[in-house]
Structure 1
Amino acid sequence: MPSGPRQRRAARHAQPAAEAAASSTRKTPITVGRIADAALQVVATEGYDALTIRRVAAVLGTGPSSLYAHIVNKDDLDDLLVGRLYSEVVLPEPDPARWREQILDVYEQIRDQYLKYPGVSRAVLATVPTNLDTLRVGEGMLAILLAGGIEPQTAAWALDALSLYVGAYAMEQALVQQQRKHPDQQWVLGREELLRRFTALPADTFPQTRRYAAELTSGTGHDRFEFTLGLIMDNLTRP
């Protein structure tokens, strides 16, 4: 068995993680899987800002030093957390005739995972993926794009752009939810109020905003999500 946490982390990325054997003692052993579960619990109940190694250790009823036997630092915890979310993503068999639909479906799954855990997409935006579950999803999406006839370089950069948007979208949704819980939430406007304010703007200064206020405020967040991903994908096959 690798002796240090860095060596264990490297081994975890080289082959599927194996849970520790059941301990003969009464205390449940700390494992990588239990750390990931506890981290998700913290984010789900308290938000991503509350996620620290000390907080995860408290959920597990142990001290931070017990976690350092399995992970290196907070970045490693983020990598583990993202991998756990991506392990829930179901990948389709690449179909050249349905590649756009397939990519959208995978990213909708990722989006929904992010939205279940407010702010967790920050971990994605700040982490270079090395977890095998994260890499599995990246491999699957790359295979879908290549099957659709997308050039390798274009496919690689498209995945980066799409992933950045999905992460940013989920982060925005988390921020709005957080602000709505704040006592002074007057700045979070509903569509009707936003529409009223736009149409009340001076016509000589904001003629287009007044005229197209309905279009500017239309659609749900998920409507705009699908529109943006479609906009990117529809341009991938252009010469």
Structure 2
Amino acid sequence: MSADPRQRRAARHAQSATENTAVAPRKRPITVERITDAALEVVATEGYDALTIRRVAAVLGTGPSSLYAHIVNKDDIDDLLIGRLYAEVVLPEPDPAAWRRQLLAVYTQIRDLYLDYPGISRAALAAVPTNLETLRVGEGILAILLAGGVEPKSAGWTRDALSLYVSAFALEQSMVRQRRRHQDQEWVLSPEELLDRFTALPADQFPQTRRHAADLISGTAHDRFEFTLGLLMDHPRPEAG
């Protein structure tokens, strides 16, 4: 054995490094599933605005280039996210006698899934669905509308309108919840404050708003959600001649 303590120390470190290399666990491979998991984690904890390929890569402990072997771009992640959420949507067997109630139940599921991940409904807006789970839900919604006697073109347009409204509703709710966390966001008013402001408006300029202020602010968010979906379901666009 060498009498030089520095040599013995160097040898000890070299042995330790070799041992650590031998027992160190291999990195888990990057997969589409792991990318989707990491993207959902980002949205759940930081909001949709924080979602970038670089941020997802950081959660996975890798670089952005590693992700490009599995995805095309940020839009691809959006498609994966919505597909993952839609995989949880339970579709009923279409019932002509209950089609409105069935549609409301399906879209309520979608709304609630969106609300679990702040701002994620933006990923569904203006996007062409390619994920099979997204297409599965779209097929189920179309089947319910057709079972209710809605003509094919009207059914397609109604489905688009319903989906757009639900995405926008969830986005608005997410924005309000986020802004309520900041005390400086004074424009997020309680119903009582809003009623006071409406009834304090000049009567000569805002007679209808003052007179009907209580009606204008009435109802919960869910009440208004059901009301609007009912409007869209009850008044599909007539088929063109």
TM-score, normalisation: structure 2: 0.86
* Residues in 1 aligned to 2:122 and 2:226: alpha-carbon distance in whole angstroms: 21
Q: Which amino acid letter does the alignment assign opposite residue 37 of structure 1?
A: D
Secondary structure class of the residue paired with 1:71: coil
Partner of 1:81: 81
Using the TM superposition, give the Cα deviation of residue 238 of structure 1 relative to its aligned residue in structure 2, in angstroms.
6.8
1:189 aligned onto 2:189: yes
Is contact 1:150-1:237 (8 Å) kept? no
Partner of 1:4: none
Secondary structure class of the residue paired with 1:97: coil
* Residues in 1 aligned to 2:36 and 2:88: alpha-carbon distance in whole angstroms: 13
Is contact 1:90-1:106 (8 Å) kept? yes
- Structure 2: runs of 5+ lacking an equivalent: 1-24
Is contact 2:158-2:237 (8 Å) kept? no
Q: Percent sequence identity over matched residues? A: 77
Matches within 5 A, 1:212-231: 212-231=212-231
* Residues in 2 aligned to 1:46 and 1:35: alpha-carbon distance in whole angstroms: 16
Matches within 5 A, 1:36-47: 36-47=36-47
* Residues in 1 aligned to 2:112 and 2:96: alpha-carbon distance in whole angstroms: 25
Partner of 1:161: 161
Matches within 5 A, 1:85-234: 85-234=85-234
Is contact 2:154-2:238 (8 Å) kept? no
Q: Which amino acid letter does the alignment assign opposite residue 200 of structure 1?
A: A
1:57 aligned onto 2:57: yes
* Residues in 2 aligned to 1:113 and 1:92: alpha-carbon distance in whole angstroms: 17
Q: Which amino acid letter does the alignment assign opposite residue 191 of structure 2?
A: R
Is contact 2:57-2:64 (8 Å) kept? yes
Is contact 1:48-1:118 (8 Å) kept? yes
Please list the CA deviations of residues 164-212 of structure 1 after superposition, one character each: whole Å capped at 9, or x if unmatched: 1111111111111222122311111100010011111122221111111
Please list the CA deviations of residues 11-46 of structure 1 after superposition, one character each: whole Å capped at 9, or x if unmatched: xxxxxxxxxxxxxx7222211111111100000000
Using the TM superposition, give the Cα deviation of residue 233 of structure 1 relative to its aligned residue in structure 2, in angstroms.
0.5
- Equivalenced residue count is 215
Q: Which amino acid letter does the alignment assign opposite residue 230 of structure 1?
A: G
Please list the CA deviations of residues 130-164 of structure 1 after superposition, one character each: whole Å capped at 9, or x if unmatched: 10000000000001111111100000000111111
1:34 aligned onto 2:49: no
* Residues in 2 aligned to 1:166 and 1:225: alpha-carbon distance in whole angstroms: 8
Is contact 2:114-2:120 (8 Å) kept? yes
Q: Runs ≥4 in structure 1, deviation > 2 angstroms?
A: 236-239
TM-score, normalisation: structure 1: 0.87
Bigger radius of gyration among the two: 2
